[in-house]
Amino acid sequence: MFRSRSGRGKAVGTALLAAASLMLTLGGCGVDPVTPQDARQGGGTDDKAGGAPRRVDCAQVKCIALTFDAGPGKDTPHLLDVLKEKQVPATFFLLGSKHVDRYPDVVRRIADEGHEVANHTWSHRILTDLDESEIRDELSRTQDAIEKITGRKPTLMRPPQGRTDGTVSDVSRELGLAQVLWSITAKDYSTTDSALIRQRVLDDAHRDGIILLHDIYDGTVPAVPSIIDELKRRGFTFVTVPELLAPGKAEPGTVYRPEKD
């Protein structure tokens, strides 16, 4: 499915168009999402974010989380250069096959530079179409591959297309993985127009939002610097997903999704 960037776009673009509507029906699947605000309110007073000292208090500061799916890819090192220059942390939901296993040095760099390393399955199969053992394989293979490189298993995962259900939640809980969805998407799988990607993100940006982008598509990484600059100008502070939830912690099996303003 992810043979080349142009091929990937054609292969998954149409399928991903269903993600937004699926997100709206998660409650009907027996999965009730938790908002970042609710996670924070239920988190007590611990001044930690995923076990690390908390840089910001998102109850007081206008936070937003920048996340990237389905990498790493050949453009990810440049993206990391941008994030380092602009001092912006991000959360990377990494794909195992032909990505984690192809770019181990990039995975290591993501972790070493303070970004959150997360799981986006091994081969981007739709988890709700699989049985329990297949779901476990998709997630655990990526867990093991990332741990081998970074020394740490992820605590977050993002199901392909945002599709989840009770079985996915049960397996995620077993593997120590919370599920993270999104509230802002540029649909960058459907365009190479960096200006359009930028505008779509800025149009939907909101406090406590989670931005979904893909660092494997041609138009995305070039759009990131101006997205960051404009959101900073608007008073946003960029955080990782664990920081967005702190002092709450991502609970395994739970689905997290922001509500738009």
State how far the Cα of 106 lies from the Cα of 76, in Å rounded to an integer.
7
Task: Check residue 45 and report its DSSP letter.
Answer: T
Q: Is 239:64 a contact under the CB 8 Å cutoff? A: yes
Distances (CA, A) of 113 to 16, 26, 116, 117: 30, 34, 9, 11
Cβ contacts of residue 203 below 8 Å, gap of 6+? none
Q: Which of 112, 214, 229, 261 is catalytic?
A: 214
CB 35 within 8 A of CB 258: yes
Q: Is 69 helix (H, G, I), strand (E, B) or coil?
A: strand
C-alpha 230 chain-centroid distance: 21
122 SS3 class: coil
Is 261 a known active-site residue? no
In angstroms, the CA 183 to CA 204 distance is 8
Active-site pick, 69, 188, 208, 215: 69
Residue 78 designated active-site: no
The residues annotated as belonging to the active site are 69, 214
